Amino acid sequence: MSTFVSQEVREGMEAARIAGLRRSSRLRVRADDNVFPVLRMWKSGFAVEEGKVPGLRGLVDLFDGANHLYQCLIVASDAEGGEMRYEFKRSTAASDKAPVDFFKDPQAPVALLTR
């Protein structure tokens, strides 16, 4: 039994794998005013489609749908299997509140009620 697979079949399988990743992921990366789909993300980086996304570098924002997840400083890692991989130099979780520089007691009253 032979395990040889022709080049056309390999390219078709790779294209189907990339298309499946693209459909199943809600993640997006925004660089400047451009938004691109993220195929997959892991602890130290993410991957985008190699031919469709221009070279990214510097400060980008990662979104899950409309939710802002991270602000990241990235560097290109390598291209393999139709994916361009990027590694995080810095990844900061996005927050909708400003950070505070004092301790907030969880048992403190929320408001003062007067008569």
Tell me if 112 is assigned to some domain: no
Tell me if 106 is assigned to some domain: no
The answer to whether residues 86 and 78 touch, using CB atoms and an 8 Å cutoff, is no
- Banded model confidence at residue 89, pLDDT cuts 50, 70, 90: very high
Q: Which residue has the higher pLDDT, 1 or 22?
A: 22
The answer to whether residues 39 and 48 touch, using CB atoms and an 8 Å cutoff, is yes
SS3 of residue 96 by DSSP: coil
SS3 of residue 114 by DSSP: coil
- CATH classification at residue 23: 2.40.10.430
Q: Which domain holds residue 22?
A: 7-93
Tokens representing 21 are 């990743």
The count of domains in the chain is 1
Among 14-18, 27-31, 65-69, 102-106, which is the least confidently predicted range?
A: 14-18
Model confidence pLDDT, tens digit, residues 35-78: 998 988 899 999 998 888 888 989 999 998 888 999 999 999 88
The answer to whether residues 84 and 74 touch, using CB atoms and an 8 Å cutoff, is no
Mean predicted lDDT score pLDDT of the chain: 85
pTM of the model: 0.68
The answer to whether residues 72 and 59 touch, using CB atoms and an 8 Å cutoff, is yes
Tell me if 103 is assigned to some domain: no
Tell me if 26 is assigned to some domain: yes
